[in-house]
Amino acid sequence: MNLHLMSSAPFEMTISVMLGEIDEQNHVNNAVYLRWVQEVATAHWRAVASAEAQESIGWVVLRHEIDYNAPARVGDDVVLRTWVGEATRLRFKRFTEIRRSSDGELLSTTRTIWCPINAQTGRPIRLPPEVREQFSI
């Protein structure tokens, strides 16, 4: 996975690891990383898209690929960094890096394929050009 090719400005948020996110191995459970990937993608959409776009366009995930590099532990602050890569008519590649804030260590990388849908019907749609331009080249 080549995460260096970016076509949209990255979006970041920082969160703190909570006790309830820890598994039997004493580190963040893999399912939590997936939740974080979805949370940062949603935050990016809400920060950039117009209110009209947010009301009319929804998103569904077609695929997640996650590589786990190092564990996060209780009390760690982690930076979730996401951006949109290649976008076709109905598929948007979104990349996410998760790093420990204190030392910058890369904890996880994810490539997700998202499909835009009509928020009312749930059917796949093509994005209007102005929305597409906000997120990709």
Whether residue 3 lies inside any domain: the answer is: no
Whether residue 5 lies inside any domain: the answer is: no
Whether residue 84 lies inside any domain: the answer is: yes
E-assigned strands of 17-124? 57-68, 77-87, 92-100, 106-118
Write down the pLDDT at residue 2.
Answer: 38
Print the domain residue range for 107.
11-135
Write down the pLDDT at residue 86.
Answer: 85
**94: helix, strand or coil:** strand
Whether residue 69 lies inside any domain: the answer is: yes
Q: What is the CATH number of the domain that holds 40?
A: 3.10.129.10
Tens of pLDDT, residue by residue over 121-132, are 999 999 888 887
**5: helix, strand or coil:** coil
The conformational region for residue 104 under phi > 0 = left, psi -120 to 50 = alpha, else beta, is left
pTM for this prediction? 0.89
Whether residue 52 lies inside any domain: the answer is: yes
Total domains in the fold of the chain: 1
Whether residue 105 lies inside any domain: the answer is: yes
Max CA distance (Å), the chain: 47
